[in-house]
Structure 1
Amino acid sequence: MDANTVLLVFVAVGLDGLAGLAGGVLSERWLQRRLPALVAFAAGTLLSAVFLEVLPEAVEARGNAAFAWAFASFVALALVEWALGHHHHAAEAAAGHAHGHPHAHHHGHPGAPTLPAALLVSDALHNVGDGAAVAAAFLVSPHAGFATAFAVIVHELPQEVGDYALLRAAGWSRARSLLALGAVQLTAVVGAAGVLLGTQHLPSLQGTVLAIAGGSFLYIGAVDLLPELRRGPDSRQRVVGFLCGLLLIVGLHFAERFAGGHG
């Protein structure tokens, strides 16, 4: 295994971990203004990364079986979220609730702020998957790795802002909330290390992990994030954010293909 690939994986996972602390660093006024566009931007990057990078690479590695793994991942994530009683990625609604906006709501469970343990367990499982996806993508190619890592980091930001807001709404102090979220971020390292070690003994694991990541990213982008484009009065900001995220990954994809063709 190339040492540079391992380094890139853990740098990307480290940056993803820093995004988990964003809720306690960014100002509340800035978040209230920019979070709708950021959620939409995350939806655009995730969905374009799924269809242009993650799933095509998974199909190349695993053939048509990749679609079955992606479908299973999509269904499993839906069942997990229903079992936990809330949509983990409805970050904007969560932040609005914690910042005292009475009309904000958290999907599926109005009492979600009283369940910090369930929230952190859900976050930990999600981060394991993110770390595994980033590692599998970098094993395919640096370009696939960068695209996947960027999509993961961008959608992590509004998600973790929402988590921080929920913990604060549950009565946790700022320091305790950040410490808990920081600890949970370490589970991404477990996912990344598991893929890096596992692929040495089971090469097909790489394509399987990418397919599972594709299904989960599709669910997060289409079910959790995309509906936010229709909420609230500032729909133009959301649509612009979504298109920017979409065009960024599309631009990177075609730039890489153009460079590869000339190479």
Structure 2
Amino acid sequence: MSILAWIIVTSLLGGLLSVLAAALFVLNARAQYLGALVSYAIGALLGAVFLDILPEALHLTTNITAVSATVLLGILLFFTLEKVLIWRHCHHEHCEAHEPHEHSENDHGRSGAMIIVGDTFHNFIDGIIIAAAFMVDVQLGIVTALAIIAHEIPQEVGDFAVLLNSGYSRRRAFQLNLISSFATLVGGVLAYVTLQGMQSVVPTLLALAAASLIYIAVADLIPGLHKRTRMRDTVQQVVLIAAGITTVATANFLIAG
């Protein structure tokens, strides 16, 4: 089988298998567990950013300041994008977006839209990484693809939780994650065709993906946790956030080992 064929097959399988594995967990979970999944999602998103995405971006660049600036500009970009989404769904002054005291538990799809943007960037980068590995050695490519599948599952669980919390149906959440997973294939094929040119923009894409996930976790999800003020709820939230971070850290340790 040719290198391109290996890249296409593993990119498709990598995206599909991670989404399906996450769906088996999340879509069969009871509704009352959704709040717990959101706490776990915050940990998984922040863990992926600070233990995986940003370290990789810094490793691939010679200009750390540029990567940091891209993250900063990315956060501003996603703030602006969210504002546009609010304006699009709000045509008068007294809509729910302007009534924080009556704000419902979900965010009417804004976090869901943001998570798909960030996940698509991340999947695109995964495709580039898979292609780069296969162009070095087929065995390395297979191992890399398997590692990415294992690493993506906890993040996909978090993505599903965010989409459901944003008011999307289970079916729609699955469809959006599945569509987003095809970015892995796009990244893999483009990297195969123009790998040298793509390598120069990888740190920027990683920085933008990191900015998106940071913004979702800190600006959209964490404020919702403050609505539950009991000590028991707070302890549960901290434990689940730590569990999400630990999952990503463990996955990185196993892959490195």
TM-score w.r.t. length of structure 2: 0.67
**1 CA distance for matches of 2:214 and 2:113?**
21
How many residues align? The count is: 221
**Residues 53 and 12 of structure 1: is their aligned pair in 2 closer, same or farther, counting only changes over 3 Å?**
same
Query: What is residue 12 of structure 2 aligned with on the other side?
Result: 10
Query: What is residue 94 of structure 2 aligned with on the other side?
Result: none
Q: Are 1:131 and 2:134 counterparts?
A: no
Please list every run of 5 or more consecutive structure 2 residues that lacks an aligned counterpart in the other structure: 88-101, 134-143
- 8 Å Cα contact 1:22/1:161 also seen in 2: no
**1 CA distance for matches of 2:43 and 2:23?**
22
TM-fit CA distance, 1:208:
2.7
TM-fit CA distance, 1:139:
5.4
- 8 Å Cα contact 2:34/2:161 also seen in 1: yes
TM-fit CA distance, 1:47:
0.9
Name the amino acid aligned to 2:185. A
Query: What is residue 92 of structure 2 aligned with on the other side?
Result: none
Q: Are 1:215 and 2:211 counterparts?
A: yes
**2 CA distance for matches of 1:222 and 1:136?**
28
User: 1:192-215 CA distances to partner (integer Å, 9 max, x unpaired)?
Assistant: 233213323122233332222122
**2 CA distance for matches of 1:8 and 1:188?**
16
**2 CA distance for matches of 1:81 and 1:7?**
35
TM-fit CA distance, 1:54:
0.8
- 8 Å Cα contact 1:135/1:145 also seen in 2: no
**2 CA distance for matches of 1:41 and 1:237?**
10
Q: Are 1:152 and 2:161 counterparts?
A: no
Query: What is residue 248 of structure 2 aligned with on the other side?
Result: 249
TM-score w.r.t. length of structure 1: 0.66
**2 CA distance for matches of 1:254 and 1:80?**
35
TM-fit CA distance, 1:153:
0.5
Alignment of 1:152-171 (within 5 A): 152-163=155-166, 165-166=167-168
TM-fit CA distance, 1:45:
1.5
- 198-207 vs 18-27, greater mean Cα deviation: 18-27
**2 CA distance for matches of 1:130 and 1:55?**
12
- 8 Å Cα contact 2:45/2:155 also seen in 1: yes
Query: What is residue 70 of structure 1 aligned with on the other side?
Result: 71
Alignment of 1:46-195 (within 5 A): 46-63=45-62, 64=64, 65-85=66-86, 104-107=104-107, 112=108, 125=117, 128-136=120-128, 138=130, 142=144, 145-146=148-149, 149-163=152-166, 165-166=167-168, 178=171, 180-195=172-187
User: 1:106-130 CA distances to partner (integer Å, 9 max, x unpaired)?
Assistant: 44xxxx4xxx8x8987676455334
- 8 Å Cα contact 2:57/2:207 also seen in 1: yes
TM-fit CA distance, 1:19:
7.3
TM-fit CA distance, 1:8:
4.3
**Residues 125 and 253 of structure 1: is their aligned pair in 2 closer, same or farther, counting only changes over 3 Å?**
closer
SS in 1 for 2:105: coil
Please list every run of 5 or more consecutive structure 1 residues that lacks an aligned counterpart in the other structure: 87-101, 168-176
Q: Are 1:26 and 2:22 counterparts?
A: no
- 8 Å Cα contact 1:69/1:208 also seen in 2: yes
**Residues 145 and 205 of structure 1: is their aligned pair in 2 closer, same or farther, counting only changes over 3 Å?**
farther
**2 CA distance for matches of 1:84 and 1:159?**
16
- 8 Å Cα contact 2:44/2:154 also seen in 1: yes
Percent identity, aligned pairs only?
A: 22
User: 1:129-151 CA distances to partner (integer Å, 9 max, x unpaired)?
Assistant: 34324324545773873575234
User: 1:155-213 CA distances to partner (integer Å, 9 max, x unpaired)?
Assistant: 212123234x456xxxxxxxxx72x5554344324422332133231222333322221
**Residues 54 and 24 of structure 1: is their aligned pair in 2 closer, same or farther, counting only changes over 3 Å?**
closer
**1 CA distance for matches of 2:118 and 2:244?**
21
**2 CA distance for matches of 1:244 and 1:119?**
21
Alignment of 1:39-50 (within 5 A): 39-50=38-49
- 8 Å Cα contact 2:117/2:212 also seen in 1: no
**2 CA distance for matches of 1:211 and 1:236?**
31
**2 CA distance for matches of 1:247 and 1:183?**
28
